[in-house]
Amino acid sequence: MLTKKQLITKGILAVAPHMFSVIPFGIVCGAIGIELGFSPILVYAISIIIFGGASQIVFLQLLSGGASAFIAVTSVGVINSRHLLYGAVLSEYLEKLSFIKKLLISYIVVDQGFAESKKFFQKNKTEPYLHYHLIGTGGTLWICWQLSTLSGIILGSFVPEELGLKFAVPLTFIAIVVQDLKKLDHVIVMITCGLSSLLFFDAPFKSYIIISPIIALFVAALVLRLKK
């Protein structure tokens, strides 16, 4: 059995490599907010209140482009609706927590933390304090995200656009799913999702980001049925 401290440490170590993507992207997020003409306090508050990478950029870009508050808020909701899927997966491992702890831990669940903790949970189902791993991954992501967006706000236009730092985002997710390329069923699901996202990219409110996973999960259900 692992202690709480060991689990937190394992979580931190599991998600730490992704900081090579999270930190550059956080700097870009902060810098874009300033570039679009928003006040530093407002740009930083978004990192705490929304705490959701790409959705923060979309939110500010929409508002600065003259979109209504309704469109901006709806887009954030649609982009972040994928967390419903993460929650559905994690709930199995968090069901023994008290209601208050569930409310608290939910705030720090983001993509990379979900992915790394899910991998760990699957292999260590019997550990009693599993959620400490999620605190390790989510807490690390939260702290690094706050510090890097803050740096981006301070550095502002000093961040060279030519570097194309946003490209670090697809790379961190490639690192997460690349080992599943060994399994044909996963490859089919990934290609379905990827092609759907390109096909529906122009759908309103950035909804491609939830439409394509839903299509891919239907395909996954079909694949499961065929496997039997």
Cβ-based nearer residue to other proteins, 5 or 96? 96
175 counts as binding other proteins under rule CB under 8 A: yes
Tell which positions 109-168 bind other proteins, by CB under 8 A: 109, 111, 115, 118, 162-164, 166-168
> Are residues 197 and 191 in contact, defined by beta-carbon separation less than 8 angstroms?
no
- Which listed residue (18, 26, 30, 148) binds other proteins by CB under 8 A? 18
Name the token pair of 60.
């500010």
Cβ-based nearer residue to other proteins, 72 or 159? 72
107 counts as binding other proteins under rule CB under 8 A: yes
How far apart are CB 120 and other proteins at their closest, in Å?
Answer: 13
Closest CA to 155 of 18, 53, 43: 43
How far apart are CB 3 and other proteins at their closest, in Å?
Answer: 24
CB proximity list for 106: less than 8 A, separation 6 or greater: 87
Helix (H) or strand (E) holding 30: helix 19-35
CB proximity list for 3: less than 8 A, separation 6 or greater: 129
How many alpha carbons lie under 13 Å from residue 181 in its C-beta half-sphere?
A: 8
Number of residues that bind other proteins (CB under 8 A): 88
Rounded Cα distance, 41 and 30, in Å:
11
Question: Please, what is the Cα angle at 76 between 115 and 116, to 5 degrees?
Answer: 5
32 counts as binding other proteins under rule CB under 8 A: no
1 counts as binding other proteins under rule CB under 8 A: no
- Which listed residue (11, 26, 33, 213) binds other proteins by CB under 8 A? 213
- Residue 125 is classified by DSSP as T
Name the token pair of 40.
């530093």
Tell which positions 62-91 bind other proteins, by CB under 8 A: 63, 69, 72-73, 76-77, 80-91
Give the range of 4-12, 139-147, 148-156, 197-205 binding other proteins by CB under 8 A. Answer: 197-205
How far apart are CB 158 and other proteins at their closest, in Å?
Answer: 18
Cβ-based nearer residue to other proteins, 7 or 192? 192
36 counts as binding other proteins under rule CB under 8 A: no
> Are residues 169 and 18 in contact, defined by beta-carbon separation less than 8 angstroms?
no
